[in-house]
Amino acid sequence: MIDTPLIRFADVSKVYHLESGDFTALDHISLEIEDNEFIAIMGPSGSGKSTMMNQLGILDVPTSGELFISGRDVAKMTALERTHMRRDTIGYIFQNFYLIPLLSAYENVEYPLILKYKKRDESGKASAMLKAVGFDEAMSAHRPTQLSGGQQQRVAIARALVNDPKILLCDEPTGNLDRKTGFQIMDILCGLHSEGKTVIIVTHDPKIAEYANRTITLEDGRIAA
């Protein structure tokens, strides 16, 4: 694994074609991320942090350049292969939690297991994961709207982890939480990093960025530091 990094941006650009002209959100980014790194991405608003996360999460593909994840060129993968990589290799944690509103807390965590194994979970993984992130078991049957922000983010983390992904992508995971809850969530992420996950987190908060081993700062779509 020394010669092939987990993630490699090779001269990646992302250009949005707008009526007012082309807008370059990512400008020739080259970057390598090794297995089990803890990375914070910082930068002013509009600098391209979320755009970069979308590339990492293969929700989108670069306009030019190449992006390798686990040694595979994402542009050369089929739509179904990308879907399966999102399901199996990557865990997402969003600022707005993005739980599935029609499912209970437990079902939200069970959902990725159902996607992967095409059947309801009988292994108890979902409950175990909820417990691991410190989610109150009595709340398992609650719908997302009945939970606090911190509780929702715990459920979201459990959901992201349940298929045991290599990479955790967190776009401002504490952005909608108070400081205390935010640090609790960061402690969970730290724990996951020490268990071997590669964690990439976008944040505006330098205190949060202190948790990371490496900080990447973006400015106008370029890496500034």
Ligand X SMILES: Nc1ncnc2c1ncn2[C@@H]1O[C@H](COP(=O)(O)OP(=O)(O)OP(=O)(O)O)[C@@H](O)[C@H]1O
From the number of C-beta atoms within 10 Å of its C-beta (0-12, 13-18, 19+), residue 45 rates as: exposed
Chosen residue from 29, 48, 107, 135 binding other proteins by CB under 8 A: 107
In angstroms, the Cα distances linking 71 to 74, 91, 99, 160, 195 are: 9, 18, 30, 22, 22
Buried b (16+ CB within 10 A) or exposed e, 108-133: bbbbbbeeeeeeebeeebbbebbebb
DSSP letters, 8-23, are EEEEEEEEEEETTEEE
Contact region for other proteins (CB under 8 A) — 22-30, 103-111, 146-154, 208-216? 103-111
Site residues (CB under 5 A) for Mg ion, limited to 48-107: 50
From the list ligand X, other proteins, Mg ion, none, partner contacted by residue 115 (C-beta under 5 to 8 A by kind): other proteins
Residue 86 within binding range of other proteins, rule CB under 8 A: yes
Q: Is residue 25 close enough to count as binding ligand X by CB under 6 A? A: yes
Residues 118-157 that bind Mg ion (CB under 5 A): none
Cβ closest to Mg ion, residue 85 vs residue 202: 202
Residue 49 found at the interface with ligand X (CB under 6 A): yes
DSSP 47: S
Residues 68 and 220 sit within 8 Å (Cβ to Cβ): no
Residue from 19, 21, 45, 123 in contact with ligand X (CB under 6 A): 45
Residue nearest to Mg ion (CB): 50
The footprint of other proteins (CB under 8 A) covers: 54, 57, 59-60, 79-80, 83-88, 92, 94, 98-103, 107, 110-112, 114-116, 119-120, 159-160
